[in-house]
Structure 1
Amino acid sequence: MPTVDDSVNVMMTHLKKVADSGKAFNIHPYFHELTMDVICRIAMGQRGTRQFENPHVDVCKRVFAHFGVDRLSTFAFLFPFDWFIWCLRRFAFVTANLRKAPFKELLDILRKEIKERKELRVEGKNVQEGDRIDFIDLFLDAEASEISDHNGDYMQNKGSLKVAKKMTTDEIGAQCFVFLLAGFDTTANTLANTMFFLAKDPERQKILQSEIDEVCSDEDVTYEQLQSLKYGDAVMKEALRMIPIAAL
């Protein structure tokens, strides 16, 4: 919660600069920076805020811009056979560098970060005093270089089968990939759409502001206070009803 609060306060300083100009501006990029900042600080081990300095933002935007519109995706929809999809997937990964595919670029960045974290672990420098354990650390704790089910031993000694399925390095990269994409765009879009509706409806904006002033009177907002924002919850849900965020 303190990490999210700090990232929000940093975003507000950026917003204040552009708002003080008195001119209209696009608020959407600010929420993209906020959501990526929170994800990277909590899930990826980023130390401190990097709003408007985070390379992940541009890459993730390009991933979504190419999602479902490239020719390989078109073929996948035209011929939805398991063997054909497998062939396309292999072809997509092999030719990703030549096509400068943004998803491959993002995966490479994540693999590099995971490799660096593993090297720090070997040196005993992965966690400094006061640091939180992030998701990469949790995934690395479950890492395995290979997986074996010992079928031969099981056939000879039934009932003694023990299979430990742990995460490989590629699986860790894939999980981080999902964290970045799943929370980055959907959360930013929800916040941006909500702000758009509030900007068009000053009366309800005042009602929401009054509830926030009443419930969150302290300088530090708590999780319990956020749960008490009933009107705020209704506003967010109405924005999601108006524009379902998962639908392109």
Structure 2
Amino acid sequence: MIKDIFVKQFNHFVNRRGFDNNDEPLDTILTVIKDDQWRHVRNYITPTFSGKKLRQMTSLINGAADRLIKNLKPKVDNNGDIEIKDTCGGYTMDVISCTAFGMQVDSQKNPNDPFVVHAKQIFEPNSFAMKYAMFVIFFAPFMMPILKFLRLPRGFPKSLTTFFQKVVDEALVERRKEKDDPNKTMDFLQLMVQAEEEAALSDLDKTENPTKRRGLTQSEIMSQAFLFFLAGYETTSSTLSFTMYMLSVNPECLEKAIQEVDEVLGDEIPTYDTAKKLHYIQMCIDESLRIYSIAPRVDRVANDDVVLGGIHIPKDMVVAIPISAIHMDPKYWDEPEKFDPERFTPEAKAKRDPYVYMPFGHGPRNCIGMRLALLESKIAIARILQNFSLTKSPKTKEPVKPNKLGQLRVEGGLWVKMTPRNKE
């Protein structure tokens, strides 16, 4: 049934559940727009994550990784106890700010930078705004029309979205000036400027039908920029930090990962091509994503009456896929609580139904930023393991119990101990 919904009968399940949120910049983000508008916007964003663009971004990612290692060294020299979630969060924020917005933030060193401060307000696990937004979006979407009627907020505070709109507007102004620079990396915002120009040339305002226009509207550009940040920051930092945590409490897996880094990279900085050769680290990331699903569930809406597996699904019914439950089902995974990267060898994957593992979804509406997330995760892990070894910290908790309310956070933090590697 999952294969039918995601792939074979995708045309019957194109859309996700809507939330009737007309507040910019959330009104036209890729995850909520529908039908032809979704296809149109996705086609314009997809080139951002092509192999060519990711290869160009690798130097920017390594720049963020340089700062990560530099900031870790004094902490390691002190006592080596590292709260890995915040550390990884600083790294992923740096990657997003440079690859998407062309900004050199260095959030790892400058936590008071306005960009960092506003970002943390959105993702602060104890903030009322975050809990409120997550509750309405995931558990009470039926409240949206009521909140709209009462003119009450339906998501993130306006001050936060206004700040990020200003950041994107200023970045777009600079990119318009640089659009003819042949040496400029064609990143996300540069592609948006290109889409903006196409819209102007095609008299965009004369038609609202996405199939009959070119380019993107200002609202669509702003929404995708905001989504790039929302989707890329917390999810990737969670993926990276839980993988590092699992390596720290599974020394035999850590040893294999270090051995692979030494054999593939030695002391060389990873490139796009060498990062692809880090197969065991990829297996560790895959297994971490199985245990700690960054998207616990996804949904699709039937756009007409359809029968799947003998079950009649009426038009407009919301179909939910419980990803985290399937990832931990002993029917598909022996000892599901155990961290075992060997589940993801080519041989093991060939024997398993591919639809019992879907951290990024499947089909045409899967996570568009998956390749970037995996690339920056592999580079960070490789760079850390080139310099440090991991063990349990006195503050390490086993097992950890993540917060289930829309984000993977652990009460008391996610701690590991790092020690300098002796390569002699």
Shorter-normalised TM-score: what interval? 0.7 to 0.9
- Residue number among 176, 179, 186 corresponding to 1:133 in the alignment: 186
Shift of 1:71: 8.0
The number of aligned residues is 229
Other-structure match for 1:237: 286
Shift of 1:23: 4.4
Q: Which amino acid aligns with 2:184?
A: D
Shift of 1:52: 3.5
Conserved? CA contact 1:39–1:183, under 8 Å = yes
- Residue number among 54, 59, 77 corresponding to 2:118 in the alignment: 59
Shift of 1:59: 2.8
Provide the C-alpha distance between the structure 1 equivalents of 2:137 and 2:86, rounded to a whole number of angstroms.
32
- Per-residue CA deviations over 1:76-117 (Å, capped at 9, x if unaligned) read 94572xxx63453576xx655xx9x75533321232123324
Conserved? CA contact 1:31–1:192, under 8 Å = yes
Conserved? CA contact 2:175–2:189, under 8 Å = no
> Is 1:88 matched up with 2:137?
no
> Is 1:70 matched up with 2:132?
yes
- Per-residue CA deviations over 1:208-242 (Å, capped at 9, x if unaligned) read 10111001125231222222222111111111122
Other-structure match for 2:339: none
Conserved? CA contact 1:41–1:49, under 8 Å = no
> Is 1:148 matched up with 2:210?
no
Q: Which runs of 5+ in 1 are unaligned?
A: 152-161
- Per-residue CA deviations over 1:132-188 (Å, capped at 9, x if unaligned) read 23322321322358622399xxxxxxxxxx932532222212111110011111110
Provide the C-alpha distance between the structure 2 equivalents of 1:75 and 1:218, rounded to a whole number of angstroms.
45
Normalized per residue, which structure has more strand? 2
Provide the C-alpha distance between the structure 2 equivalents of 1:88 and 1:241, rounded to a whole number of angstroms.
36
Q: Which amino acid aligns with 1:104?
A: K
- Residue number among 143, 160, 179 corresponding to 1:106 in the alignment: 160
- The more displaced of 103-112 and 27-36 is 103-112
TM-score of the superposed pair, with normalisation by structure 1: 0.76
Other-structure match for 1:164: 213
Other-structure match for 1:45: 102
Q: Which amino acid aligns with 2:248?
A: A
Conserved? CA contact 1:32–1:57, under 8 Å = no
> Is 1:191 matched up with 2:240?
yes
- Change in 2 beyond 3 A, CA 1:31/1:126: same
- Residue number among 70, 75, 92 corresponding to 1:13 in the alignment: 70
- Change in 2 beyond 3 A, CA 1:87/1:141: farther
Q: Which amino acid aligns with 1:149?
A: T
Normalized per residue, which structure has more helix? 1
Conserved? CA contact 2:101–2:188, under 8 Å = yes
Conserved? CA contact 1:34–1:51, under 8 Å = yes
Matched residue SS, 1:142: helix
- Change in 2 beyond 3 A, CA 1:11/1:127: farther
Matched residue SS, 2:131: coil
Shift of 1:39: 1.0
Provide the C-alpha distance between the structure 2 equivalents of 1:95 and 1:150, rounded to a whole number of angstroms.
29
Q: Which amino acid aligns with 2:119?
A: C
> Is 1:36 matched up with 2:56?
no
- Change in 2 beyond 3 A, CA 1:189/1:121: closer
Provide the C-alpha distance between the structure 2 equivalents of 1:71 and 1:150, rounded to a whole number of angstroms.
29
- Change in 2 beyond 3 A, CA 1:88/1:75: farther
Provide the C-alpha distance between the structure 1 equivalents of 2:144 and 2:280, rounded to a whole number of angstroms.
46
Q: Which amino acid aligns with 1:229?
A: L
Shift of 1:17: 1.1
Other-structure match for 2:35: none
CA RMSD of aligned residues (A): 3.3
Shift of 1:62: 2.9
Q: Which amino acid aligns with 1:70?
A: Y
- Per-residue CA deviations over 1:6-30 (Å, capped at 9, x if unaligned) read 2112101111110111242312111
Percent identical among aligned pairs is: 28
Q: Which runs of 5+ in 2 are unaligned?
A: 1-57, 297-403, 405-424
Other-structure match for 1:155: none
Provide the C-alpha distance between the structure 2 equivalents of 1:103 and 1:8, rounded to a whole number of angstroms.
31
Provide the C-alpha distance between the structure 2 equivalents of 1:8 and 1:103, rounded to a whole number of angstroms.
31
Shift of 1:51: 3.1
Provide the C-alpha distance between the structure 1 equivalents of 2:248 and 2:277, rounded to a whole number of angstroms.
23
Matched residue SS, 1:25: strand
